[in-house]
Amino acid sequence: MRYSSRVNKMEKKQKSVSVHTNKRESLREFIKERRKMAGRVMASGDVIEDPYEAAYSYKLKKKQRTLYAYEPALEHYNVFDADYPENPQRSVLIHERLKESGILDKVCKLTEDQHLLIEDDELLKLAHSMDHINNIRYLCREVNHEDCGLYDSIYWRAMDTYHAAVQAARVCVSMAAAIMVNDYGNGFANVRPPGHHASTDMPNGYCIFNNVAITAEYLLSLGLAKKILIVDYDVHHGQGIQRRFYDRKEVLYFSIHRFDEGRYWPCLPESNFTYIGEKEGLGFNINVPLNNIGLTDVEYMAIILNILLPVAYEYTPDIVLVAAGYDACLGCPEGSMNVTPAFYGHVITALSGLANGKILCILEGGYYPPSMAEGVASTIRALLGYSCDQTAHGYYLKPGVVDTINDVKQILKPYWNCFQLDPEVEIEDIFSYDRYNQHMAVEKYYGTMLEPPFEKTGYPKLTVEEERLAASKLHILVSDYAVKEYKIGYIYSDKFKLHKPPKKSTIVEAPVRIEELMHKLKYFQLLNRMLKFQLRVQDGWEEIIRATHSTEYVDRVINEEVDQRPDLYTNEFTSEVCQSVIMGLLNLAVGINDGKLHAGVALVRPPGHHAKRNEGGGFCVLNNVAVLANYMIKKLNFKRVLIIDFDVHHGDGTQELTYERRDIMYMSMHRFDNGKFFPNWERSNYNFIGSGKYAGFNVNIPFNEAKMGNSDYLFTWFKIVLPIAYCYTPDCIIISAGFDAGINDPLGSYNISPETFAHMIQTVKPIAPIILSLEGGYNSETTSLGMVLCVKSLLGDPIPVPKLDPIQSETVTTVTNVIKVLKPYWPILFSNKALGKKVYSQEEVDHLRENMTKVEETQTSPDV
């Protein structure tokens, strides 16, 4: 009887919970339906959009499996040269490294029955003429060394070469189709021969058929994709891909390649920055030609952050195809670059926020097998959603790279909104303008286009000493690399709700904030995918807090003697709640330090970033993130901690507590309104950058007057926050995650969508482990969905891409001011200059210089 009664009570309780949940969901559906109805018939003709629809539509979208294909084409090799660089060992060594590292056990292998049943001609005609296809068959009828000289860097081994090239293309198309129909999330095709140099009518550069172009055409032809981004980071320009899509906008081709002003293979004028497409494709072909050797991660990342990411986010592709060449990686004799294998993981992770994470990487070049194999391993780890290894430290950009970045921005400025952040300037004197702050683009080409007969030998090789040095550098790097799954911990306690405002108060910082947040995390089924960390209060917690706040102020908090103000309240539970919040954060830090976590989420209140050394304010009692950062430095021996604050209010407390530090760096994006917006502090302005030897380690990005939107935040993030964060190389990043810059927030009045915050997290997470600590946010829907999507980003789930409006002029002013004061301290910002309005040819410059010399000679010659 007692048992039956207890069961009935439990059933009633469960029924009550179910009704409560159903009421919530019914209400949300009702509101959503009303919005749709309102949008159907409006007098103005405008449609009301649900600003949260994108977030809710991603509830069930989770990270999917990674697909891997292995087609080493063992029968395709150069029978006349055993040392030829493009050989089966390239693919074999990659596969062995993946097996050795355990990565192969984490991926799904493409099986033969997953290959698409499509006739050879039908497949190849997607990107090649029938004449080209028949010519390859004709050439492959036998092995003829002399015929090889008719084509640049091409060999074949009878029909084995033809079959290998067809199979490579078939595998790539099969993988892309499987990804686009949602069987898999992304993939890597370890295939050969490579393809990006092959044109519609001509094999070239080890490439018979163009795997990437065929794949793109297949997806477009079946309507599986309408917009495709192709990213080509092979050190050689993929002219075959460029030519295929040069006059089309449904494919955006982006290539970083060595150029040497036309002297580097393939020695084509069309590899220069001025070749940006034509007709409908104008602006959709982006070449980043490099005129230096020995370039490192910092230069390559500057290109990714300044050009690729802004354009990619504006383009919003349906899939990203990567022409994955690793010949810019250290040790490769063909590239003579010094990019580390870790770099490739960072690029893939940054791109994974796009296209629902749909990325297919297709192997192209790479001719130093050890670094190539590590580069592929880094790429696949990123596809799997694992944490990235740290890129090589660097502050300075080679001047040639600065010029190239600005060349590209200048030529593309009319076509892409993202480049409106770069101001324009009229350069009146091309010989004496301000080269530090202004850029004049000059198109240079000193190459000679190659013609048949082509040499069949002469490829670069490493000397014994060069190979020893490359192996040594790679060994040091790889010893720090690891397969680390992205594990996330979180802290939450109902105790956090005990700190609440007085009854009948209208204060918006109240327990309901985290109640709704927790409801959303459960609704999106995210809590069970994270590890809940206990609060575990430590002895001596007062001393931990006193390392940041004054003893007198800490005593006042403990003894409930904090002065009550309109923006600050306490009750009998506040001290205990603050103590629990701090302890929870410290436990997350310990988890990261011990290697148990790579990210932590602190669902806490009260917020903290306004609390100063001797006082609280702005709803903040203790400065949670400053206490945490201090603890990590002093107790856990972290060398550098970066605090990034995107709360709409400036974290004046955090700035005060870290202003004279280099081991803790503070960066804040906030509303300022020329000092009229809370906290109404003049030191929130852009010119407060730290003092003396600490100058440059406090970064304020203050927006004035205008109502900021997604473009303003996201492109500013790419322009300032990410470059400096990469150069600072923190051991951990603490995010002061305030969502009151979000849409419909009563205090912030900005227009940032929840998904924008998630993409900010997506692009910064490769740099270092992250702790996300809740600050402000007073529209419960915006705040909870903002946090939900940030968590989904950390988990590697697909996230919606925000809608991007034109950048506002006030954003341009703010960004320009911030860069101006920080340039002397962060040379990576040298890539930002005012852009000239004309691209000069070298002939024009030489002609002007010659005329100027003649004028000067006339003016200085003695009278006759």
Query: How confident is the model at residue 29, as a pLDDT?
Result: 56
Nearest Cα to 773, choosing from 649, 602, 559? 602
Query: How confident is the model at residue 19, as a pLDDT?
Result: 40
Say whether pLDDT at 427 is over 70: yes
**The residue to which tokens 């954060």 are assigned:** 585
What are the φ and ψ backbone dihedral angles of 837, each rounded to 5 degrees? Answer: -100, 0
Please give the model's pTM, rounded to 2 decimal places.
Answer: 0.93
Nearest Cα to 527, choosing from 490, 555, 500? 490
Average pLDDT rounded to a whole number, residues 671-698: 97
**What Rg value do the Cα atoms of the chain yield, rounded?**
29
Query: How confident is the model at residue 30, as a pLDDT?
Result: 47
**Alpha carbon distance 433, 257 (integer Å):** 29
Q: Out of 197, 257, 346, 649, which one is annotated catalytic?
A: 197
Residue-wise pLDDT for 688-743, tens only, equals: 999 999 999 999 999 999 999 999 999 999 999 999 999 999 999 999 999 999 99
Average pLDDT rounded to a whole number, residues 18-42: 47
Q: Out of 549, 610, 649, 650, which one is annotated catalytic?
A: 610
**Alpha carbon distance 395, 827 (integer Å):** 6
**Alpha carbon distance 231, 212 (integer Å):** 10
Query: How confident is the model at residue 853, as a pLDDT?
Result: 73
Nearest Cα to 196, choosing from 150, 226, 231? 231
Residue-wise pLDDT for 255-302, tens only, equals: 999 999 999 999 999 999 999 999 999 999 999 999 999 999 999 999
Average pLDDT rounded to a whole number, residues 399-409: 98
Say whether pLDDT at 11 is over 70: no
The answer to whether 257 is a known catalytic residue is no
Give the length of the chain: 864
> How far are the Cα atoms of 124, 298, 680 from residue 325, in angstroms, in the given order?
22, 18, 51
Query: How confident is the model at residue 855, as a pLDDT?
Result: 66
CA dihedral 493, 497, 499, 501 (to 10 degrees): 160
Query: How confident is the model at residue 5, as a pLDDT?
Result: 38
Among 134-148, 432-446, 591-605, 815-829, the minimum mean pLDDT is found in 134-148
Average pLDDT rounded to a whole number, residues 211-238: 98
Say whether pLDDT at 168 is over 50: yes
Phi-psi region of 595 (alpha: psi -120 to 50; beta: other; left: phi over 0): left
Residue-wise pLDDT for 486-540, tens only, equals: 899 999 999 999 999 998 888 999 999 999 999 999 999 999 999 999 887 666 7
Q: What percent of the chain has pLDDT over 90?
A: 85
Domains defined for the chain, CATH in brackets? 66-478 (3.40.800.20), 488-827 (3.40.800.20)
Among 144-153, 342-351, 640-649, 650-659, the minimum mean pLDDT is found in 144-153
Residue-wise pLDDT for 788-847, tens only, equals: 999 999 999 999 999 999 999 999 999 999 999 999 999 999 999 999 999 999 999 988
Say whether pLDDT at 751 is over 80: yes
**Alpha carbon distance 167, 76 (integer Å):** 12
* Helices 754-764, 780-795: crossing angle, 10 deg rounding: 30
Query: How confident is the model at residue 2, as a pLDDT?
Result: 35
Sign of CA dihedral 41, 47, 48, 49: positive
Q: pLDDT higher for 334 or 37?
A: 334
Average pLDDT rounded to a whole number, residues 44-72: 89
| Amino acid (one-letter) located at 662 | R
Say whether pLDDT at 16 is over 90: no
Say whether pLDDT at 34 is over 80: no
Nearest Cα to 371, choosing from 406, 327, 321, 403? 327
The answer to whether 163 is a known catalytic residue is no
The rounded mean pLDDT for the chain is 92
Q: What percent of the chain has pLDDT over 70?
A: 93
- CA distance between the termini of the chain: 128
Helices (H), 731-775: 754-764
Q: At a CB cut-off of 8 Å and minimum separation 6, what does 42 contact?
A: 48
Say whether pLDDT at 598 is over 90: yes
> Confidence class of residue 38 from pLDDT cuts 50, 70 and 90?
very low
What are the φ and ψ backbone dihedral angles of 835, each rounded to 5 degrees? Answer: -95, 135
Query: How confident is the model at residue 480, as a pLDDT?
Result: 85
**Alpha carbon distance 327, 840 (integer Å):** 31
